[in-house]
Amino acid sequence: MKTYDLFINGQSVPPQTKKYFDSFNPFTGQVWAKIAQATAQDVDDAVQVAHHAFSEGPWSTMTATQRGLLMHKLGDLIARDAKELATIEVQDNGKLFAEMFGQLNYVPQWFYYYGGLADKIEGNVIPLDKKGFFSFTRKEPLGVVAVITPWNSPIMLTAWKIAPALAAGCTVVIKPSEFTSASILHFVKLFEEAGFPPGVVNVITGFGNEAGTALVEHPLTKKITFTGSDSTGKIINQQAAKFLKHVSLELGGKSPNIIFADANLDDAVNGAVSGIFAATGQTCIAGSRLLVQDSIYDELVQKLVTLSKTAKMGDPMSSDTQIGPVTTRPQYEKILSYIDIAKNEGAKLLMGGEVATRPECGNGWFIEPTIFGDVNNKMRIAQEEVFGPVLSIIRFKDEAEAIQIANDSRFGLGAGVWTSDIGRAFRMSEKIKSGTVWVNTYRAVSFMAPFGGFKESGLGRENGIEAIQSYLETKCVWINTGAASANPFTMR
C-alpha cells in the first residue's frame, strides 16, 4: 500500500495530526493508497512558505525570462514522465489510460505556452491629459494562489491554473480532490528537478470542508482558482467575498449538443457519443442534452443506439476499452439515483439504465451507458448535472426552438451544433449562451483557446492569453516631471 504525504517547501511532510485517509481504485473498488489528511495548521504552513517564496525567496528576484525557462524545462519533464503520471491517474480516477495519457502528453504545452508569455507581460504608458506628469502601468503578480481541483482530470486541470499563475510570478498551494490526490504528489516532484526554488509549488491534501476552507479563508491567499461542482463554487465565492479575494470558477454544465436535419448524421452520431460516453460522461463539458430535429429523430436515435451498444466496457488500462468505471462511490450512487428520477419523470429508456454486470467489469463501479428519449427540457434529468454516462434526447422543430431549449438552462459551459448550413452555424454560435460553441465537432480544448462558463457555469476564463491577466494586478504610477505645486485642497 502506498502512503502519500503533503508537499511543502519542496519536501514530503506528514500531516501534523498523522492522520491518513483511503484512496480507492474505481476498477477494483479496493483501497490502493493512503493520503495525508491536512488540517488548518498544515494549510497555514504551506501558505506561509508560499508567501515567503513569493515575497522574499529566489522566485521573487528571478526575471520573467528565467521563470519562463524553468517552465519550459518542466514541460520537458512532464513529457518524459507522461506514461507514469497517466498510469497513477487511472489507478485513482478509473478513466481510460488512452484519455489520461493523451492529456499528459498535451499538458507540457501549457507550460511552454505560458512560459513563453512570462516575459511578454507589459504595462502601458498612459498618454495623460495633464502636462508635467509621466504615467505608466505595472502588472504585478497577485501573490499566493489557492488552486482547488476536482477528480476528473487532476493534472491537466491543475496545469490550466498553475501555468498562467507561475508565469505571472505568483506562487501556489494546490488542494487536489480527496478522491485523486496521488498523481499531483508525483507531478510536483518534477518542479524541483526542473530547478524551481522550494516553496513556489506546494500541495496540501485533504477534505474540502477542512483543508479547502482553511485555504480559501487564509489571509495570505490572494486568489482562489477553483474547478468543481457549482454548489461548492458558490460556497467558495461567498467565503472569498468576505475577504474580497480574487476568484475564478470553472463549474459544471448541462450542455446542449444540437443536431439539425441538414447535418452529416454519421459525424453527428459520433459527436453525440463522444459528448456523453467519453470519460464515462464525467466531464464538465459533457453533451448531456442531445437536441435532435424532428424530421431525423427516429433515424438518428436508431444510429446512436446501435453505435453506443458496441462500446466496450472494462479495465481502463486496456487499449480496447471504451467506457471505464465511475470515479467515486458517491458519484456512482448519484448517477443511479438520476436514472431512477428520469424513469419516474416519464423519460423513455432506450438503452442501459442499470449497473453493468458484464464479467469484464469485475467489482468496479460500472454503469451501463444510458440513453433516455422523448425527454422534456423541464424534467430534472434535462436540467441537473448528472456527471455520468446518461444522455437525454430532446426533440425540436426548428432553429428558433433549438435556441430556446438550448438556453433554457441555468448552465452555459459548452454547446455543439451539427449542420451543413454555414449561415446557421454563425447564427447558432451567436445566439447560444455558453462559453464555448463547437460546430461540427465536440469536446475539443486547447491551451490557446479561452475556456469557461456563462451563467452558473462559472466566472472568468482559463487558457489563452487573457488567462494570465487574472493572476496580475494593475498598478498605475504617476511621476511629477515638473508640474508646479497646486492648491492642496482641490484635485489635480
Annotated catalytic sites, by residue? 250, 284
Write down the least CB distance from residue 233 to ligand NAD, Å: 7
229 near ligand NAD, judged by CB under 6 A: yes
Give the binding-site size for ligand NAD (rule: CB under 6 A): 29
- The contacts of residue 164 (CB under 8 Å, 6+ apart) are 114, 117, 462, 467, 468, 470, 471
Own/partner pairs, 234-242, CB within 8 angstroms, 24+ separation: 236/148, 236/212, 237/459, 239/213, 240/216, 242/217
92 near ligand NAD, judged by CB under 6 A: no
Which is closer to ligand NAD, CB of 52 or CB of 218? 218
Question: Considering only 114-122, 147-155, 398-406, 418-426, which stretch makes contact with ligand NAD by CB under 6 A?
Answer: 147-155
Q: Which of 42, 250, 315, 368 binds ligand NAD (CB under 6 A)?
A: 250
208 near ligand NAD, judged by CB under 6 A: yes
**DSSP code, position 144:** E
456 near ligand NAD, judged by CB under 6 A: no
Residue 238: phi and psi, rounded to 5, are -65, -45
5 near ligand NAD, judged by CB under 6 A: no
- The contacts of residue 351 (CB under 8 Å, 6+ apart) are 305, 308, 309, 368, 369, 370, 371
Question: Considering only 104-112, 150-158, 313-321, 442-450, which stretch makes contact with ligand NAD by CB under 6 A?
Answer: 150-158
Which residues ranging from 154 to 173 are in contact with ligand NAD (CB under 6 A)?
Answer: 157
Task: Give the SS3 label for residue 152.
Answer: coil
Rounded to whole angstroms, how far apart are CA atoms 286 and 276?
5
257 near ligand NAD, judged by CB under 6 A: no
- The contacts of residue 367 (CB under 8 Å, 6+ apart) are 280, 326, 332, 335, 336, 339, 352, 354, 355, 356, 388, 389, 390
The pairing of strands 125-126 and 133-141 is antiparallel
228 near ligand NAD, judged by CB under 6 A: yes
- Give the number of residues written for the chain: 492
Neighbouring-strand partners of residue 246:
223
Write down the least CB distance from residue 230 to ligand NAD, Å: 7
252 near ligand NAD, judged by CB under 6 A: yes
Which is closer to ligand NAD, CB of 216 or CB of 468? 216
Summarize as ranges the residues that interact with ligand NAD (CB under 6 A).
Answer: 148-152, 157, 175, 177-178, 207-209, 212-213, 216, 227-229, 232, 235-236, 250-252, 284, 385, 387, 413, 458
